[in-house]
Amino acid sequence: MDKQQAQEKIDAIKELLHQYGHEYYVLDKPSVPDSEYDQKLRELQELEDAYPELVTADSPTQRVGAEPLEAFQKVQHNIPMLSLGNAFNADELRDFARRATEGTDKPVSYVCELKIDGLAISLLYEDGKFVRGATRGDGTTGEDITSNLRTIRSIPLTIKDKDTIEVRGEAFMPHKSFLALNQKRDENGDEPFANPRNAAAGSLRQLDPKIAAKRNLDTFLYGVGEWETGTIQSHSERLSYLKELGFKTNPEWRKCQTIEEVIDYVEYWTTERPNLNYEIDGIVVKVDDLDQQEELGYTAKSPRWAIAYKFPAEEVITTLTDIELSVGRTGVVTPTAILDAVKVAGTTVKRASLHNEDLIRAKDIRIGDTVVIKKAGDIIPEVVRVVEEKRTDKEEEFHMPTTCPACGSDLVRLEEEVALRCINPNCPAQLKEGLIHFVSRNAMNIDGLGEKVIIQLFQEKLIQTIADIYRLNREDLLKLERMGEKSVDNLLQAIEVSKGNSIERLLFGLGIRFVGAKAAKTLAQQFETIDNLQQASYDELIAVDEIGEKMADSIAHYFSEQEVTDLLQELRELGVNMEYTGVKRSSQSEETIFSEKTVVLTGKMEHYTRQEAKEKIENMGGSVTGSVSKKTDIVIAGEDAGSKFEKAQKLGVTIWDEQQLREALND
């Protein structure tokens, strides 16, 4: 057999195996016995061994062919993977329907889907081949887990559509796989996973794909990111097309004409969910019409055209054995209930926040009480109420201390606050929590400096202040446990990279009271340097949009402190950037050809990536969206522009080529 004959034979076997795999793992209707599939797979492997240059990434033999990774690479989502707003009862679903109906002129219909309790994923296909898979991450930046996703048999390695397509869905672990995995871990003396979701997430974050392959994960695909969907006009049509392409979609979705039909669907699955072979934690409700979705638009965090109904939280009874105190980075002393371990919503719960003394008094919670607990939103454990009929008169009332449990300083209750607070700036608990916050993802985002490492460095007295992070050296770090040469080098490199962050990350990381990530960005855009912000008066601060009185007062007070001035000077001397490097408000205020224009990019460009073009347009005051509607001002069409180009023509939207874009950006 020559190379050409081998190629033809390989192509034929691959096509057959893709068909068999789709029938088995997606349709659940195998057409051949397992032995025949295995025989064909062995035949393909032998051919590829003989002609290794003919092995391609879409071959069924490559499902577990990748070598272990050293670390996951970051992936930027060009279209953010937004979270959904929540509804907890029928009235809140009706409110969602009312808002949707008021936001559009045409009648609204809905699609209901089971909300799979797994890990959100994004799959990218180019020229019909699966080229990259990523986690949702924070919605904007995820992790490249392509090697692990290739091991999931229900994910097609090839599809018929040759356009660039990004498909989104959920990876999960079926009950059968979960039980088998925990049985195996128990036999090996390993700690079992708490629930299928944790098991799925843990499997997909293994650096060795061979481990993920053994976990028998599955997927349901339900949406898209970047994709020119041609003539598709509705979400229900999109689901049907995904299935036609070979993706596994959940068969239980339903189209509903009214919100009352939606509520009937919710009530049905509230009782039927135990009969499924996988975990669900709610129902996702979406406006079906894609034009109406575009018309309704988005808030900063979620689409207005979709909502997640969350099933009622499971309530269980346990005993509250003690109340412990912790000190946060802002000095707030928080009481935490210590509980007899109990299973709630699939995980073992031993602790629950009690928030403050007023809540303890309002619920009359005592040490030794029998209490009802639940997970708020299926995530955060909380004490719902005391079971008073089980009291024995041996329970003890709890009283908050008058001094800080970490440093012994007097606690104070600030005006209009229910929380007790330690105001000692050198309190070790606050310093430690402040350091953890400073290096976190939304702040300085220093890879390798997680909570455990920060605590270790703090206990070893290698860091006591934020500035100490930038004084860490290789010699001291190598003396620590679990710190090898490679991890130390990576950590020092991440610290060095963080010095170049734009100042909104630094502002958020400093932990100024009331200043969140969004406010930090607003302040950075307005004042552009730390020096300008530090010198700003209360009146100048309050004049900034979105900066309220409390925040302005907190900022002015923070920057008036001498120790803050000293810290900033230290950071400056250590090379930390003190300027805003993003889109400046002064630039945005200048009128440009893109000012207040809605722009859509389509097709391939020669001189810019899609992300580069998007950033440049936004730098000039434009807004880049993913789909064409009557609200679109300009469509910029590169080579092989598809349905967005056609829709723009149909709607009479202004269409530019790449040369016109270049001229506009240069002007």
pLDDT digits (tens, 9 = 90+) for 187-223: 777 777 878 888 899 899 888 888 999 999 999 999 9
pLDDT tens, 15-72? Answer: 888 888 778 767 767 788 877 877 888 888 888 888 888 888 878 887 776 666 677 8
- Of all residues in the chain, the percent with pLDDT exceeding 90 is 52
Q: What is the rounded CA–CA span in Å between residue 605 and residue 602?
A: 9
Any idea what the Cα angle at residue 41 is, between residues 40 and 44, rounded to 5°? 85
Angle at 387 between CA 384 and CA 391, to 5 degrees: 140
Cβ atoms of 377 and 397 closer than 8 Å: no
Q: Report the distance separating Cα 592 and Cα 597, nearest Å.
A: 10
Closest by CA to 602, choosing from 650, 643, 547, is: 643
The answer, yes or no, to whether residue 587 has pLDDT greater than 60, is no
Which residue from 186, 169, 202, 200 is spatially nearest to 279, judged by alpha carbons?
A: 200
What is the separation of C-alpha 247 from the centre of its chain, rounded to a whole number of angstroms? Answer: 23
Q: Distance between CA 21 and CA 241 in Å, rounded?
A: 19
Strand stretches in 70-109, DSSP E: 74-76, 86-87
Which structural domains are found in the chain, ordered by start?
Answer: 3-55 (1.10.287.610), 86-310 (3.30.470.30), 315-397 (2.40.50.140), 428-498 (1.10.150.20), 503-573 (1.10.150.20), 590-666 (3.40.50.10190)
* SS3 state at 539: helix
Place of tokens 């874009």: 661
115 has catalytic annotation: yes
Separation in Å, CA 159 to CA 171, 244, 587, 640: 19, 10, 44, 19
Sign, Cα dihedral of 13, 18, 20, 25: positive
The pLDDT of residue 57 is: 80
For the record, the structure tokens of 25 come out as: 């793992």
- Token code pair at residue 128: 């019909």
Mean pLDDT on 228-251: 89
Q: For 255-277, what is the mean pLDDT?
A: 94
* pLDDT interval class at 642 (50, 70, 90): confident
Place of tokens 């995530």: 379
Residues 6+ apart with CB under 8 A from 340: 318, 319, 321, 350
Separation CA 100–CA 82 (nearest Å): 18
Which is the catalytic residue, given 40, 115, 614, 647? 115
